[in-house]
Amino acid sequence: MHIDARGVLLKYVDGADLSKVLKLRNHHDRAMNNIMVLTEAQIELAGLNEGDVERLRARITEYRTVLMFLAAAQQMTDNLQQTVYVLGHDIAAAIGEITAQARRRAKVSPDRGEILNALNQVIDYQLAPAKKGKLTRKAKKEAAEGSGKPETPAPSGDEPGKSGAAAPKQAGVRKAAAHWEDEGPVSVAG
């Protein structure tokens, strides 16, 4: 889609001055049409300045052109937003699949720590909703048991971007790998 508005001279009104700008009221299109179809005889009979009428006609034409571009720009914005939604959907599905593949591979590989470390941020992103849900259920359960005000769970390194899978020691890596294998859904749809 292409919008070529090179002939349009854009104007700017400061937000503070916007209330001072005269607004067109309902049925302005009928008044504009009336100006556009005036004949020279009607202009002369009404005692109007022909130059003023021509300048007004030029403004009306420019106004209608800008409205046409505005409608096209709004349609383009809508199309771009829909494109963002579709691309986001495709990306989310692919991230879910990549996470599932990595987790399946890590289950059977002796190099599970390296596999999970390489995709640390992807796995954190994918599992964040499941972790949040788990913490919420835990807090609700504690509140329901009558233990008073539910305590906020202590950070366990499970926050997005702070995975335990990034531990440099092999034992820590294996522990983190087991952690990733047991938590959260396998995919976005799961």
186 vs 98: CA distance, rounded Å:
10
Taking 80 as the threshold, does the pLDDT of residue 127 lie above it?
yes
Q: Which positions ≥6 away from 95 have C-beta within 8 Å?
A: 122, 125, 126, 188
What pLDDT sits at residue 23? 86
Residue 62's pLDDT is 92
The DSSP symbol for 119 reads T
pLDDT, residue 170, reads 46
CA dihedral for 144, 149, 155, 161, sign (positive or negative): positive
Instruction: Tell me the pLDDT of the chain averaged across its residues.
Output: 80
Annotated domain spans of the chain: 15-78, 85-182
* Model pLDDT, residue 185: 41
Q: Which residue has the higher pLDDT, 134 or 170?
A: 134
**How far, in Å, CA of 170 to CA of 163, rounded?**
15
Give 58 or 16, the one with higher predicted confidence. 58
Residues 6+ apart with CB under 8 A from 96: 126, 187, 188, 189, 190
Structure tokens at 15: 């937000």
Q: State which of 18-32, 73-87, 155-169 shows the largest mean pLDDT.
A: 73-87
* pLDDT value for 156: 53
Q: What pLDDT does 159 receive?
A: 52
Model confidence at 15, in pLDDT bands (50, 70, 90)? Answer: confident
Q: Is-contact 155 161, C-beta < 8 A?
A: no
pLDDT for 45 equals 94
pLDDT tops 60 at residue 111: yes
pLDDT at 164: 47
pLDDT in tens, 34-72: 999 999 999 999 999 999 999 999 999 999 999 999 999
pTM of the entire structure? 0.54
- What are the backbone dihedrals phi and psi of residue 185, each rounded to the nearest 5 degrees, phi first? -75, 155
- Looking from the CA of 122 toward its CB, the CA atoms found within 13 Å total 21
Task: List phi, psi (to 5°) of 164.
Answer: -70, -15
Task: Render 65-97 in DSSP notation, one character per residue.
Answer: HHHHHHHHHHHHHHHHHHHHHHHHHHHHHHHHH
Q: Torsions phi, psi of 146, nearest 5?
A: 80, 20
